[in-house]
Every structure is written in structure tokens, then in C-alpha cells.
Structure 1
Amino acid sequence: MVTHMKSALSIALPAWLIDELATLPSTLATGEERMALVNELAARNYVEGNGGPFAALVADRQTGEIISVGVNVVLSSGLSGAHAEFMALSLAQAAVGSWDLGADRERELELVVNWRPCVMCYGSTLWSGIRHLVVAGAGPELEQLTGFDEGPMRDDWAEQFEARGISVTQNVGREAALAVFAAYGRSNALVYNARGGDGVVIPES
């Protein structure tokens, strides 16, 4: 009988963020305010050693209610999929009791992230049911400043979201996000690309 195989896993926000959940605002009226919180959480996350400088939240676009927050916990969890978007989306799904964050047509839930999702989180966001995506930026600066490999993203990533009924708003809190990435790049933090290397992998032509 096989007894050594794992049959369950547990993943949670880091202790420092759990301790602060009660102090976070319950509502934030604008996308700019929501992104400011995301950038603030991202700036602290890597300093605490949980993972990269990435954070996200899910909010009700109409009321400003914050449904969930997430940060990257790849290092503290030991799970490569534990990105900020996955955490925020999954915790929001747990909060509303559904895998489909767009099932309630009376609510317009949005995901706010401090950069365009990586190739893995791109899929997670597409299938989450979220109605809106707000990002700080989408260019190569993240990889250049941090050394992370974000994967082979499609050039028409935003159009693909829009085609599936997910509106995309870009360049909200961009300069603040870039400042966080630049600080990360100057730090001794681990860049955990699984195959090593220095960030962006460019295929041979």
C-alpha cells in the first residue's frame, strides 16, 4: 500500500498580512486607491521573504468593497503556483462560495494586479469568471528590473481577455509599481526561475 504520497495541501496568506487584514480598508472607491494598496503589499512582501514583489486584490467595482487580497507566497509555501493572482482569486472564490466570480450578474468583480499576469496567471484569470482586470503595466520592464521570467505571453493578451467579456484597464499606478520592481532588483532577494538564468528566455530563431 502506498503511504508516502501526499493527499492534501494547505496554502495561506503570510502571517504578517493575516495580522493586518483587520486594519485594511473594507472599501476603496477608485482603481487608483485599490492599486495603491496592491503596490504597498507588493513592496512589503519580498522584504518579508514570502516570494516576489507581487500582490493582487479582488474588489466589487461598483461598491469598492475589498473581497480578498493576495501576495506571492511561492517561497514560504514551497508551491510554484502560489502567485498573488491565484491567492486573491482563490480567496475571493472561497468568500463568495463559487468557482465563477462572474456568476452573480449583479456584481462586477475586478482583479487588481501590480503588473500584467504571467503566463500561468493569465490562464487563472481567464477561467476565474472575473469581469474586470486592472493592471499597473504590461511591458518588459518587470522582467528587466526583477530578472523574473514571465513566460511566453501572447501579444494580444488584452484582446483575448476582452473577447471573453473581461475588460482590461492598464497603467494604473504604473510608476509606483516600477519603483517596487526596481527596489527588488537592487535587493538580495532570490529570483526563483525554476531553470535558473537571468529572467527573460528568448527562443532561438
Structure 2
Amino acid sequence: MHLASSLSASLPAWLLGELDDLPAVLPTLEDRMDLVNALADRNWREGSGGPFAAIVVDATTGALVSAGVNVVLASGLSSMHAEVTTLSLAQTALGRWDLGAEGADLELVVNWRPCVMCYGATMWSGVRSLVVAGEGPLLEELTKFDEGPVVADWAAQFEARGIRVSIGTRHDEAVAVFAAYGDSDSIVYNARGAVD
């Protein structure tokens, strides 16, 4: 067997075709989450991955730095969650692994509290703020995804590291996306099956 020496993931064709049409500036948290929820809903309907999307913006100006979706199914890579994809695209665009370098105040906007993997990826990315539509077990109940053992004080842990957290922007709209996904026959790609 030949050992792999590289890996690759890309945004799905449907999003690649729309990148140039995304707003260059998203001035409010609601504008930002509206885009995230729209991308998340389209993503699962297109079969690229789960109902998850994220963007990185300049927290002050709202300038869009990157947009991404969950591409686990499209890439065949279990780590290609929306947060990992979007943070990686921002790091590639800016040419640095630390998104907080040079005084940058970048913000990750995602349609739910990060899973256990994305929790670490977000914390170590250098973003200075995190905006989520919601938190808690409702996502798992609606979608049957296993989000892993996220610590109870997850938001406080971000805050302790200088990362501002905002919870609740467009909560109901995010829940509607998850409910539609849960009612569909889409693949829930937990390793060895869903968690009860």
C-alpha cells in the first residue's frame, strides 16, 4: 500500500460558483448569520455535507474574509467541518496561521456552538470573537449528529483566552435548518452510527 503524502479539500461546486456574488461587507451580526444559515441550508440540500456553514469577517468593518461549509461528504475527510474549512480558507487567504496577528480583530460566525473538534480549531486559530446561533443538545436531538464531549463552560473558556462569544443571533432560523435536515433522509456520518 502506498502511503498518502498530501490531502486536499475544496468548497463544493455550487458555492464556488457563488463566491463572487457573496456580499463583500456584512455590517451586522444578523446579516452575517443570515448568510451562514442560507449556506448551511443549501449545503445539505446539495449533498456536500451536514447543515453547517461558517464565515470569517472583520469584526469591526464586517468585511468578508472567507466563507465555507461542511464538506465531509464531498471530500471524504471527517475533519472538514464548516469551522475547519472556513478558518483554513481565511488562513490561506491571509497567508498566516494566526488570524489574530498584526492586531487583526477577526470573527468566526457559525450556525451552532462548535463541536469538540472545532472547539479546539477555533480556539487556536487566532480569531478574536465567535458568534453562534445557539448552543446545547437541541442540535444533536434534531440532526442525530454526535458533537462530542463539549465542556459545560465552553464559552467561558473562550472568553478566558480573549475570544469574545456571542450566542443567540438568528437562533430560530438555525434551528429550522437543523429540523429540515433531521426530517430528511440525509446521511448522518457519525463513525459507527448515531449516538442515542
> Normalising by structure 2, what TM-score?
0.98
1:15-164 equivalences in 2 (<5 Å) = 15-105=13-103, 107-164=104-161
- Aligned AA (2:73): L
- Aligned AA (1:114): N
Q: Distance in 2 between matches of 1:164 and 1:95?
A: 24
Q: Which runs of 4+ in 1 moved over 3 A?
A: none
Secondary structure of 1:34 counterpart: helix
Secondary structure of 2:165 counterpart: strand
Report the CA distance between 1:115 and its aligned residue.
0.1
Report the CA distance between 1:195 and its aligned residue.
1.7
Q: Work out the number of aligned pairs and report it.
A: 196
> Normalising by structure 1, what TM-score?
0.94
Q: Distance in 1 between matches of 2:142 and 2:186?
A: 13
Q: Distance in 2 between matches of 1:79 and 1:10?
A: 9
Give the alignment's Cα RMSD to 1 decimal. 0.9
Q: What stretches of structure 2 of length at least 5 have no aligned partner?
A: none
Identity of aligned residues (%): 64
Partner of residue 203, structure 1: none
Larger radius of gyration: 1
Q: Distance in 1 between matches of 2:131 and 2:102?
A: 20
